[in-house]
Amino acid sequence: MPHWAEQPTLTVNGTAVDTAPADGWWVVGREWNDGDEVVLVLPLEPRFTVADPRLDAARGAVAVEYGPLVYCLEAVDNPGHRLDDVTVDTAVAPEVVPHGRAASGHRDHPDRGPSPASDRRLVVALPSLRMRQPATEPGSRSR
């Protein structure tokens, strides 16, 4: 079982198995028959992962993860935002929105400190495994 899958479920022929995953594996001991159906559900919940504070270059950094994907903030996907001015409130859960985008964080004003709630704006994060293209409207292609 992947480490990111909290509370996975496993059924055989519609019945929950009576074992639990251990050491990354879910062992089911039974006599198997042709046509048996095994269904493994790995729930996906967006989460923050904080960098190890012992790594100077990443101290204070945070990643948004969704299942096995790591989402990245890039300037091209967030026009009008200076990413150096973006902070992320890890007390507020990240949200995955349609088309594989994650929304989180807000823009601060470096000369005025944290922005008031009325000035907070969502920023867009995209999976880091995708081809490098700016975010566009769903269904459209960019450059």
pLDDT tens digit sequence for 30-39: 999 999 999 9
pTM of the complete model:
0.65
Residue 141: the pLDDT is 43
pLDDT attached to residue 124: 73
Report which of 93, 101, 109 is spatially closest to residue 72, judged by C-alpha positions.
101
pLDDT for residue 52: 85
Report the alpha-carbon distance of residue 112 to residue 104 in Å, rounded. 21
The 10s digit of each residue's pLDDT in 37-57 is: 999 999 988 888 888 888 888
Which residues in the chain come in under a pLDDT of 70?
98-122, 129-143
Q: What is the pLDDT of residue 140?
A: 43
pLDDT for 142 equals 42
Residue 143: other Cβ atoms inside 10 A: 5
Task: Give the residue among 60, 67, 27 at the shortest CA–CA distance from 46.
Answer: 67
Q: Which residues pair with 125 in a beta bridge?
A: 73, 102
